[in-house]
Amino acid sequence: MQKPEPQPQPEKSLPEGVRHIVAVGAGKGGVGKSTVAVNLAVALAGAGLQAGLLDADVYGPNLPQMLGVQNHVPKLGDDGKIEPAEAHGVRLMSMGFLLEPDSPVIWRGPLLHGAMNQFLRDVRWGGLDVLVVDLPPGTGDVQLSVAQSVPLAGAVIVTTPQSIALSDVMKAAAMFRKLEVPIFGVVENMGDFVCPHCRKSSRVFAHGAGRSFAQKYGVPLLGEIPLDPAVCSAGEDGKPLCLAHPESASAKALRGLARAVAARLDAATAKRQGG
C-alpha cells in the first residue's frame, strides 16, 4: 500500500494585532496557573505593555472572578468580533462569560478546537503586545488546539514545591517540547508561608521541585512565590495581588517573572526583525 503524501502544515499566524502569545501551564490543577497568568498580565500592563488574557481553562474558567468582571456580557460587533472585558489595564476573554454559573463544559476535541480558535481570532483584542493564555490542567485537547492554532512565543510552567508535583510538570514540559514551544522557565508557587499577622515567612512544605525541574530541563527558575493568604484573597476579591499588595514578597516575585518574560519577548522581537 502506498504511503500517504505528507501534507504541508498550514502556516500558523498570530491573531490580528497581537504581537506575542505566552502560555501559562502545568500538569496539575490548583498549583496556581491562573494566579500566575493574571498577575503576569497585570504586571506586564503595569510595565507599559498592552496586555490581554485568554482564559483557556474551559472546564473551570475563573479568570473573570480573579479580575472582578464576572458580570461582563460580551457583545458581538457588526464585524463579528467579540468584545473582551477590560479590568486593571488588561483585556480578558473567558468561556466563563458565555456559561451559566455552575454549568459544566462537556465538549469533544473538535468543538474545543473551534472555541479556542474563535477566542484567539474573533475577539477584538485591539493592539496587544502580549496575550497571556491560561491553560487548563493536563496535556489535552485545549493545549493541543492552542499550540497548533497560533505560534506561541513561549510557555511559563508553574509547579508547587513538592517533588510529587514534578512528574506532572515533566509531562507538561515534554508536551511543549513536542509542540516546539520554547519553555521560558518555571515558577515555583506556594513555597514559604508568609504569616498574615507578622508577615514573617517560614517553610511549610518540602521544597525544591522548581529548582530541580529547572536544572533537569536547563531552563531558568523564573521566580519563587510564597504561600501567602493575601494571594488567595486578592484572587477572590477580583483585585490581583500585584495591585492589591504591590510591596509584598509575592508581588515582587510576580513582577520579577513579568520582567523576565518581557525580556524574552524583546529578544523574540529582535530575532523576528533580524530575519
Sign of the torsion formed by the C-alpha atoms of 55, 140, 207 and 180: negative
Residue 94 interaction partner, one of ligand ADP, Mg ion, none, beta carbon < 5-8 Å per kind:
none
Question: Which of these ranges, 30-38, 114-122, 172-180, 197-205, lies near ligand ADP under the rule CB under 6 A?
Answer: 30-38
Q: Please report how close the Cβ of residue 92 comes to ligand ADP at its closest, in angstroms.
A: 15
Contact residue for ligand ADP among 12, 13, 17, 30 (CB under 6 A): 30
Residues between 202 and 231 that touch ligand ADP (CB under 6 A): 225, 227-228, 231
Beta strands (DSSP E) in 111-207 are 130-134, 154-159, 183-194, 201-203
**Residue 91, H or E segment:** strand 90-94
- Specify whether the CB–CB gap between 155 and 182 falls below 8 A: yes
Say how far apart CA 38 and CA 133 lie, in whole Å: 9
**What span, in angstroms and rounded, lies between the C-alpha atoms of 27 and 165?**
8
Q: Residue 25, interface with ligand ADP (CB under 6 A)?
A: no
Residue 135 engages ligand ADP in binding (rule: CB under 6 A): no
Question: In one letter, which amino acid is 147?
Answer: A
- Candidates 18, 21, 22, 31; binder of ligand ADP (CB under 6 A) is 31
Grid coordinates belonging to 75: 457583545
Residues of span 48-107 touching ligand ADP by CB under 6 A:
62
Binding flag, residue 265, ligand ADP (CB under 6 A): no
39 contributes a contact to ligand ADP by CB under 6 A? no
Segment near ligand ADP (CB under 6 A), from 23-31, 45-53, 97-105, 210-218? Answer: 23-31
In this structure, what C-alpha cell is assigned to residue 118?
A: 474563535
